[in-house]
Structure 1
């Protein structure tokens, strides 16, 4: 019974056995070996991860972990729900709703609570007061060589310069992230940038495009359970997005050609593109990058944040915004 469960605030030791393994089993394609979960998500939000634990129906001396959630808070105004998963063998018993409501309680009276909901759960989220936004994500994926061959003309363009995001003042990256996500999260962003900077031996790369000292966009890529995942891909124009995407794909291609340099991962690049941005859809249609069955809708409870989706080609991560 859902009324008999208890909620456990997680330590780092709980992250890989539950959040990583369960997300991988759902084909959410988490980062290789769960490193982003430990080194970014948990490090940034150490008091935000919870498990629901219920008595075993056949053995009163035992307990089972039945559901997970991350109840993140970004500053005083923003909350985010991610990694909301019920263990398959315990679904249909009310455990999922119980831990979801616990997450809302943990987040408290924030002006806004966001999440990226899979289509099957949208109606349930609506019952909890969430409304749809125009931010719909579509997963697009193709072989890395497809990206590099189709984008080879965008190694450079105009008077732009390509640089590591480590060379960009953090305040500029923070401002761009807030513009395209709708909220500020400096601790998360610093850890995300560090995770992708000077980590070539782990297959993680980043780059930024500038023009006359002005930041036009940036992107990151990391190895995951089923592919290499790009996120974010923020850009002021399709040309900037193509340039960033080419350099990320080319960096991965070079790394894959060096034996034993990076973790063994399928030579596929995927992105959860922002389908609400017509330029993003057009770009990936033009590149003939097919869409998979993974689709999510960004939903909010409370005040909808102001988000400039015109520059969002892919968010950092749909798990935590």
Structure 2
């Protein structure tokens, strides 16, 4: 074999675990069961770069529907950075999403590099950290998502995402060590959220709701399912003033920030009803 042979190919499912281990080392705190749901979204949407058969770089380029894709998990092992391997897998990933609007949540330090590839800043997403447990005021209409028609959940979710993510959602709301709740008004879904177990603590995501009041009721119900004083994280669009009010009202503090960027036209999402991002890796 030629020495220092660098190849890029589609990941096998087990290699996605490697990417998420690297993400954890970067401090991104993935969920314990994210990999299966990520893979369900698009089994061909994950690339690995290998140097003499050693995985040294990863990227996810997940396709949704016919016109949208989301880029994430762009990681090069630290000892191989600055040698061009990352740019090669980046270019390969972008090629797979050619012709689509592409979104990403990038670390702020890389924002200028992403601009060189045609990405423009839409807004910041900010991770807030607080405490789990607690009692929440009884809120009528809150029900487990498992008790609701999946088609209704998909239909509600569609407004908040630029492409069809039915297969991802089916896995996401039913993963182990998670709580998925909806809030009903007039027998229609008026919001939903998911709390999942992560490498450290728990994350709420997504958190979508038709009003700040519904969002807060869902948030309090979800975080009550986390152990008392366990870390609970919520990733909010910084331009949603009501979401900022929510995290501040519950004494949550900033722990991380990303730049939500897109190529082409930014999707027209109802940011005023988007109180929690599903995941920085897949949108």
TM-score band, normalised by shorter chain: over 0.9
- Show structure 2 runs of 5+ residues with no match: none
Select which of 29, 46, 51 maps to 1:49. 46
* d(CA) in 1 for partners of 2:15, 2:54: 14
Q: Which residue of 2 aligns with 1:263?
A: none
Deviations along 1:171-208, one digit per CA (max 9) or x if unpaired, are 3322322212233211211221232xxx4xxx311111
Local SS of the residue matching 1:180 = coil
Select which of 232, 239, 242 maps to 1:269. 232
Local SS of the residue matching 2:48 = strand
Does 1:245 find its partner at 2:207?
A: no
Select which of 164, 168, 172 maps to 1:188. 168
Q: Using the TM superposition, give the Cα deviation of residue 88 of structure 1 relative to its aligned residue in structure 2, in angstroms.
A: 0.7
Deviations along 1:96-116, one digit per CA (max 9) or x if unpaired, are 111111101112222x11111
Q: Which residue of 1 aligns with 2:258?
A: 296
- Contact in 2 for aligned 1:183/1:305 (Cα 8 Å): no
- Contact in 2 for aligned 1:80/1:113 (Cα 8 Å): yes
* d(CA) in 2 for partners of 1:273, 1:106: 29
Select which of 138, 158, 169 maps to 1:178. 158
TM-score (norm 2): 0.93
- Contact in 1 for aligned 2:174/2:180 (Cα 8 Å): no
Does 1:72 find its partner at 2:62?
A: yes
Which moved further from structure 2: 296-305 or 67-76? Answer: 296-305
- Contact in 2 for aligned 1:177/1:184 (Cα 8 Å): no
Point out the structure with max Rg over C-alpha. 1
More helix by share: 1
Does 1:124 find its partner at 2:113?
A: yes
Q: Which residue of 2 aligns with 1:261?
A: none
* d(CA) in 1 for partners of 2:230, 2:54: 37
TM-score (norm 1): 0.83
| Cα distance change of structure 1 residues 267 and 295 upon mapping to structure 2, 3 Å threshold | same
* d(CA) in 2 for partners of 1:194, 1:288: 29
Does 1:166 find its partner at 2:146?
A: yes
* d(CA) in 2 for partners of 1:223, 1:189: 16
Q: Using the TM superposition, give the Cα deviation of residue 80 of structure 1 relative to its aligned residue in structure 2, in angstroms.
A: 1.1
Select which of 86, 92, 102 maps to 2:92. 102
Q: Which residue of 2 aligns with 1:262?
A: none
Q: Using the TM superposition, give the Cα deviation of residue 168 of structure 1 relative to its aligned residue in structure 2, in angstroms.
A: 2.4
* d(CA) in 1 for partners of 2:156, 2:186: 17
Q: Which residue of 2 aligns with 1:211?
A: 185
Deviations along 1:98-141, one digit per CA (max 9) or x if unpaired, are 1111101112222x11111110111111000011113x211111
How many correspondences in the alignment?
Answer: 280
Query: Which 4+ runs in 1 deviate beyond 3 A?
Result: none
Q: Which residue of 1 aligns with 2:132?
A: 144
- Show structure 1 runs of 5+ residues with no match: 55-61, 257-265
Deviations along 1:71-92, one digit per CA (max 9) or x if unpaired, are 1101111111111111111111
* d(CA) in 2 for partners of 1:118, 1:107: 21
Q: Using the TM superposition, give the Cα deviation of residue 250 of structure 1 relative to its aligned residue in structure 2, in angstroms.
A: 1.5
Does 1:312 find its partner at 2:265?
A: no
Q: Using the TM superposition, give the Cα deviation of residue 44 of structure 1 relative to its aligned residue in structure 2, in angstroms.
A: 2.5
* d(CA) in 1 for partners of 2:163, 2:96: 19
